[in-house]
Amino acid sequence: MTNISTFIRRALPGDSWRPWRSVIAAALGKPPEDAALVRRVTGRKHLPTRPVKELWCVVGRGGGKSRGSITLAGAVATCRTFPKRAPGERIYIGLFSPDRKQSAVDLSYARGLLHSSPALESLIVTEGREFIELSDDIIIEVITASNAAPRGRSYAVVVIGEAAFLPTDQSAEPDRELIRAVRPALARVPGSLLLVVSSAYSRRGELYRAVEHRNERDDVLVVVAPTLTMNPTFDADAIEQALRDDPESARSEYLSEFRSDIQSYISIEAVAAVTVRGRFELPPVKGTGYVAFVDPAGGSGADSMTLAVCHAGEGSAVVDCLRERRPGFNPSDVVEEFSALLKSYRIDRVTGDRYAGEWPREAFRKGGIEYVVSEPTKSDLYRELLPAINAGKVELLDNARANAQVTSLERRTGRGGRDSIDHAPSSHDDLANVIAGAVAACKVGLGKSILPESFTGCARAANSNGTYDHRSCYLFGGAGGSVDGLAVCRTCPGDKAARVQWRRYIDSGGQLDLRSWASDNVRLPDALAWAEVRSMAKRTPWL
């Protein structure tokens, strides 16, 4: 059997790989070639004298993380003797990564190592698309990160690549869930190793916590190193240019500094508090007005096509229905399906973004649904969603995937100081987007609205069919003409968009109190035609 130190020297030859050889040696409890470097990147005065149970490496982009980690995993797989096992029991070397593309890279490194010498190549029993089986019932496998993947297996080594960028579609804390799942699988094999490697990202998650608590345990080694420290051959000029172009991002990517400009946006606790457990969908109810928001997608990319239906309850926006069609669908078929669902809720208008120009309008028009482009951006919708959730003015369905997307949203501060809210890298927000859009529509258009503080005195009365009787409205009542109450409410000055249109008619210091207007017999100018009222209703983009 090959000596483990010899294996590592052959796999990582030359001076440029000396930093990785030194770190790996320290993790194995052996004297490193460059002890000073290891002390510097680990912050330790005394280096391990026996193999550690966990090695965490926060290394800059291009710093050799994939090759370094696969080399250590391969060394353990081929150079270590494992204790006797039950007949048929196998030992696994698990390579976990955020996506299939990275998994392919990892397996390619593993294949290259094993085929690099006749002695190692002779250990290969069979090779598959996502695994390599070695003699002595050892299997190297690549797995797209999932907290359910490792259950029921015995792992000698688990490598979690780019741990700060794991997809958050199924869990708001995917790194934590995955590590919780693999630790019992590692405990089945004496001398097992958990190896977590990643570039730095935001100041949260297991990677950041490991750095914050580094050197608290002798059997856990934590490395924090810039790109050039671990790979001195990397283009230093490219790093300097990146630092000039986007300092915050470049310091994270190349200098291994956790970003201070990215924060979690909506807490897990806040979302849990407004989630109605056991409620997965609400059927249409006669006499209730509904709104909907759709996030179109083409079906062949990475995004899902999603839809949310919502109504305004007693002081809160209630999410009634969610639909998601994941990639690999015919968009025309999904539009047809969504149109039928909208009609079941008596909805003839849906709001969405500017995706693909005229296609959504045309597709939904064929299904008898008017598609209206949302004026607020996705970031604006998320900005409105936070206070509604924190105030308990939203009721969410018991949908783990959707709620994980909501809690995984991030607030980023741009170079100009303006905040933006979006999903994390390697993640999606298709369900979160339609929830935010539908909740915003509820707040400004239908049901018992959540009115802004500066807008008081609404006296509209609901009809049995879910529309509103404009005759009870202080502003439109008695003005004459014929228009349905729903259009009246859509054009009310309390609406953010319509408020701008009426500004020249009012001078109330921003306070829009319909009761005071009514007492002064203030009405909209007679010259304003009802046709314009209807036109303005259609231009209210989020209804």
Residue scoring higher pLDDT (110 or 88) = 110
For residue 447, pLDDT over 80 is answered with: no
Mean pLDDT of the chain: 79
**Structure tokens that stand for 384 in this block:** 């409105």
pLDDT tens string 356-388: 678 888 999 999 998 988 888 888 888 889 888
Domain membership flag for residue 114:
yes
**Structure tokens that stand for 518 in this block:** 């009514």
Residues 103 and 40 both lie in one domain: yes
pLDDT band (50, 70, 90) for residue 324: very high
Residues 374 and 485 both lie in one domain: no
| Range 97-122 average pLDDT | 83
pLDDT at 75: 87
Residue scoring higher pLDDT (176 or 481) = 176
Cβ atoms < 10 Å from Cβ of 360: 23
For residue 19, pLDDT over 50 is answered with: yes
State which H helix or E strand residue 431 sits in: helix 430-444
Phi, psi of 511 (to 5 degrees): -95, 115
Contact 60, 230 (CB under 8 A): yes
Domain membership flag for residue 449:
no
Residues 497 and 408 both lie in one domain: no
Question: How many domains are contained in the chain?
Answer: 3
State which H helix or E strand residue 412 sits in: strand 410-413
Domain boundary among 404, 425, 444: 444
State which H helix or E strand residue 208 sits in: helix 205-212
Share of the chain above pLDDT 70, in %: 77
Domain boundary among 255, 280, 311: 255
Radius of gyration of the chain (CA): 29
Residues 42 and 173 both lie in one domain: yes
**Structure tokens that stand for 125 in this block:** 């029993």
Contact 179, 186 (CB under 8 A): no
What is the Cα–Cα distance from 538 to 415, expressed in whole angstroms? 36
Residues 293 and 436 both lie in one domain: yes
pLDDT at 116: 84
CATH number, domain at 388? 3.30.420.240
- The boundaries of the domain holding residue 354 are 269-444
pLDDT at 31: 93
pLDDT tens string 156-179: 999 998 888 887 666 667 888 888
pLDDT at 466: 43
pLDDT tens string 217-246: 999 999 999 999 999 999 999 999 999 888
pLDDT tens string 30-87: 999 999 999 999 999 999 999 999 999 999 999 999 999 999 988 888 888 877 777 7
This prediction has a pTM of: 0.64
pLDDT at 492: 52
Q: Give the distance, in angstroms, between the CA of residue 441 and the centroid of all CA atoms in the same chain.
A: 23
Q: Which of 220, 219, 156, 160 is nearest to 185 (CA)?
A: 156
Residue scoring higher pLDDT (496 or 305) = 305
- CA angle at 306 for the pair 314 and 430, rounded to the nearest 5°: 95
For residue 525, pLDDT over 50 is answered with: no
pLDDT at 383: 86
| Range 436-452 average pLDDT | 60
Helix (H/G/I), strand (E/B), else coil: 42: helix
Residues 341 and 472 both lie in one domain: no
What is the Cα–Cα distance from 310 to 444, expressed in whole angstroms? 12
